[in-house]
Amino acid sequence: MTDIIFHGHSCVQISSGDNSLVIDPFLRGNELAVAKPEDIKVDAVLLTHAHMDHILDAEPIAKANNAKVVANVELATYMSWKGLDTIGMNIGGTVDLGFAKAKMIQAFHSSGITIAEEQRIIYGGMPGGFIITVDGKTILHAGDTGLYGDMKMIGDRHNIDVALIPIGDHFTMGPEDALQAAEWFGAKVTIPVHYNSFPVIRQDAESFIQALEAKGLKGHLLEPGQTLSI
């Protein structure tokens, strides 16, 4: 049995038995989150890109758990300078975590760390998403992205059990484009993420689920703190 725990925004924890990983931990900065960084027990922290609403709690969680941090090489290098144990990778590559494998796929977005007091932005490498294989299941986390045609190729090449897709608009796909992405990925279940955390990305997730069902696709809505077992 594999558990998918939604912590709000794009933060998702995937657990199998005694092993677990978390993607894009952002808890302290999200008023909707019910978990705190100290509540998260994992073996690995996966980062899709360098924006603060995806990496804010990577350092405390990784240090508390002696967990590996998996990210593109530039972001992994930045995290290693903070004393974290990192695995740098890039799009198309796969990392074996023992209990799970993580393949990095492309995402169309931006990626950088803003140092406001210095009016400086640190390049964060190419943004991406992850295809996680664990317990014979395939879970896709699209990362922050707009719609792109190769989503259909990814869906054709992978038998995806669960797809986590952003619907917030403004910074990522909105519901209409996310609906097309869900069709192309062809997952058995689609879960919307990256919405409602800030006013500018507020969306009616129930309507998105209904739109999926109208196209013969299965959607599942998770509130922060809720779990889907597959």
Strand partners, 165: 192
Residue 215 has a pLDDT of 97
Residue 40 maps to a domain: yes
Residue 130 maps to a domain: yes
Residue 229 maps to a domain: no
DSSP codes joined into one string, 18-78? TEEEEES---TT-TT----GGG---SEEE-S---HHHHTTHHHHHHHHT-EEEEEHHHHHH
Task: Using alpha carbons, select from 40, 78, 80 the residue that is nearest to residue 61.
Answer: 40
Residue 32 maps to a domain: yes
Residue 220 has a pLDDT of 98
Residue 76 maps to a domain: yes
Residue 75 has a pLDDT of 98
CA distance 198 to 26: 13
**What is the phi-psi region of residue 8: left when phi exceeds 0, alpha when psi lies from -120 to 50, beta otherwise?**
left
CA distance 121 to 97: 31
CA distance 29 to 56: 8
Q: How far is CA 43 from the centre of its chain?
A: 16
Cα separation values, 104 from 61, 142, 203, 205, Å: 21, 10, 27, 26
Domain of 55 in residue numbering reads as: 2-222
* CATH number of residue 152's parent domain: 3.60.15.10
- φ/ψ (deg, to 5) at 144: -85, 120
Give residue for tokens 């608009």: 169
Q: From first to last of its 230 residues, what are the pLDDT tens digits of the chain?
A: 999 999 999 999 999 999 999 999 999 999 999 999 999 999 999 999 999 999 999 999 999 999 999 999 999 999 999 999 999 999 999 999 999 999 999 999 999 999 999 999 999 999 999 999 999 999 999 999 999 999 999 999 999 999 999 999 999 999 999 999 999 999 999 999 999 999 999 999 999 999 999 999 999 999 999 999 99
CA distance 47 to 205: 24
In the numeric block, which tokens belong to residue 211? 């739109």
Residue 228 maps to a domain: no
Residue 177 has a pLDDT of 99
Mutual angle of helices 73-80 and 58-65, in 10-degree steps: 70
Residue 28 maps to a domain: yes
Total number of domains constituting the chain: 1
Residue 227 maps to a domain: no
In the numeric block, which tokens belong to residue 103? 């393949």
Exposure of 141 by Cβ count < 10 A (0-12 exposed, 13-18 middle, 19+ buried)?
buried
